[in-house]
Amino acid sequence: PAGSGWRAAAEAAGIGALNAESDFSDMEADWSRMTGLPADGALLVRPDGHIACRFDKAVNDPADFLKRQMAQILASKERVRWISD
């Protein structure tokens, strides 16, 4: 399904992930309309509900891309630890 690369990357990083197409029913497509995200896009949401990063399309290596974005958001590569590392 769309977004599965982002979900796998998040899970590898120990980040909880939800998929608008498979984890809940969005009968009226409100999620897509409200976020403006395409089916292969993703949001990285902080625990306090603020959007930390927006990904408007799929990338070739979602895990690497997410890792680099997390390092930038946290302003330190040393703070980013992956379960798979």
Per-residue pLDDT tens digits for 31-85: 777 788 787 888 888 888 888 888 888 888 888 888 888 888 877 655 555 555 5
CATH of 4-79, picked from 3.30.1330.10, 3.90.170.10, 3.40.50.300, 3.40.30.120, is 3.40.30.120
7-9-15-20 Cα dihedral, nearest 10 degrees: -20
64 in Cβ contact with 46 (< 8 Å): no
Q: Give φ, ψ of 45 to 5 degrees.
A: -110, 130
Per-residue pLDDT tens digits for 57-66: 888 888 888 8
Q: Give φ, ψ of 30 to 5 degrees.
A: -65, -40
